[in-house]
Chain A
Amino acid sequence: MKNAVEVIKVHKVYESTPPVVALKDISLAIKDNEFLTLLGPSGCGKTTLLRIIAGFEEATLGDLRLFGDDIAALPPEKRPVNTVFQNYSLFPHMSVAQNIAFGLQQLKQDKDQVAKTVREMLELVKLSEYGDRNPSQLSGGQQQRVALARALAPHPKVLLLDEPLSALDLKLRQAMRLELKDLQRRTGITFVFVTHDQEEALTMSDRIVVMSQGEIQQIGTPAEIYENPTNRFVADFVGESNFFIARVTKVTKSDVECQISKYMKVRSQRTSSISVNDVVTLFLRPEKISLLADPIKGSHKGIVRDIVYLGDNTDYQIELDGAIEVTARAENRSDGTPLFAIGSDVHIHFDKHALKVIRGEQ
Chain B
Amino acid sequence: MSNKNNDIRHIPGLGVISLLFFTYLYAPLVILVIFSFNETRSATIWGGFSTEWYAKVFVNDDIQRAAINSLLIAAIATVFATTIATMAALAMARGSAFRGKPAANSILMLPLMVPEIVTAVATLSFFSFLGLSLGLGNIIIAHTVFCIPFAYLPIRARLQGMDTTLEQAARDLYADRWATMRHITLPLLAPGILAGGMLAFVISIDDFIITLMVAEPGSTTLPLYIYGLVRIGITPEVNAVSSIMLGISILFVTLSYVIGQRR
Binding site for B on A (CB under 8 A): 54-56, 75-77, 81-83, 85, 87, 89, 91-93, 102-103, 106-107, 150-151, 154
Contacts and interface: CB of A to CB of B under 8 A. Distances in A.
B174 A56 contact: no
B261 interface: no
Secondary structure type dominating chain B contacts:
helix
B163 interface: yes
A85 B169 contact: yes
A207 B173 CA distance: 27
Given A55-B172, A103-B174, 17 more contacts: A54-B172, A56-B168, A75-B171, A76-B171, A77-B172, A77-B173, A83-B172, A85-B169, A87-B165, A89-B165, A89-B166, A89-B169, A91-B170, A103-B173, A106-B173, A151-B173, A154-B173
Contacts of B183: 102
B188 interface: yes
Contacts of A92: 166, 188, 263
Contacts of A81: 172
A240 B188 CA distance: 47
A93 B165 contact: no
B166 A106 contact: no
Contacts of A107: 174
Which 10 A-B pairs have CB atoms at the shortest separation, nearest pair first?
A103-B173, A106-B174, A76-B171, A89-B165, A89-B169, A106-B175, A77-B174, A83-B172, A76-B172, A56-B168
B102 interface: no
A87 B163 contact: yes
A89 B168 contact: yes
A85 B165 contact: yes
A87 B164 CA distance: 12
Contact of B174 (A85, A91, A154): A154
Nearest to B190: A93
B179 interface: yes
Contact of B176 (A54, A77, A102): A77
Contacts of A93: 187-188
A83 B188 contact: no
Interface of B: 163, 165-166, 168-177, 179, 183-184, 187-188, 263
Contacts of A55: 171-172
Nearest to B97: A15
Contacts of B179: 106
Most B CB contacts (10 A, CB to CB) among A54, A75, A76 go to A76
Most A CB contacts (10 A, CB to CB) among B168, B173, B176 go to B173
A26 to B, nearest CB: 21
A102 B163 contact: no
7 contacts: A56-B168, A56-B172, A75-B176, A92-B166, A103-B173, A154-B173, A154-B174
Contacts of A150: 173
A344 to B, nearest CB: 51
Contacts of B170: 91, 102, 106
B78 to A, nearest CB: 24
Nearest to B188: A93
A129 to B, nearest CB: 23
Nearest to A106: B174
B175 A77 contact: yes
A205 B189 CA distance: 40
Contacts of B176: 75, 77, 106
Contacts of B165: 85, 87, 89
Nearest to B176: A77
A332 to B, nearest CB: 45
B161 to A, nearest CB: 13
B172 A91 contact: no
Contacts of A151: 172-173
A150 B177 CA distance: 19
A56 B172 CA distance: 8
Most A CB contacts (10 A, CB to CB) among B165, B168, B169, B177 go to B169
Given A56-B168, A93-B187, A82 B173 contact: yes
A107 to B, nearest CB: 5
A355 B170 CA distance: 51
A107 B170 CA distance: 12
A107 B173 CA distance: 8
B193 to A, nearest CB: 14
Contacts of A106: 170, 173-176, 179
Nearest to B173: A103
A56 B165 CA distance: 10
Contacts of B166: 89, 91-92
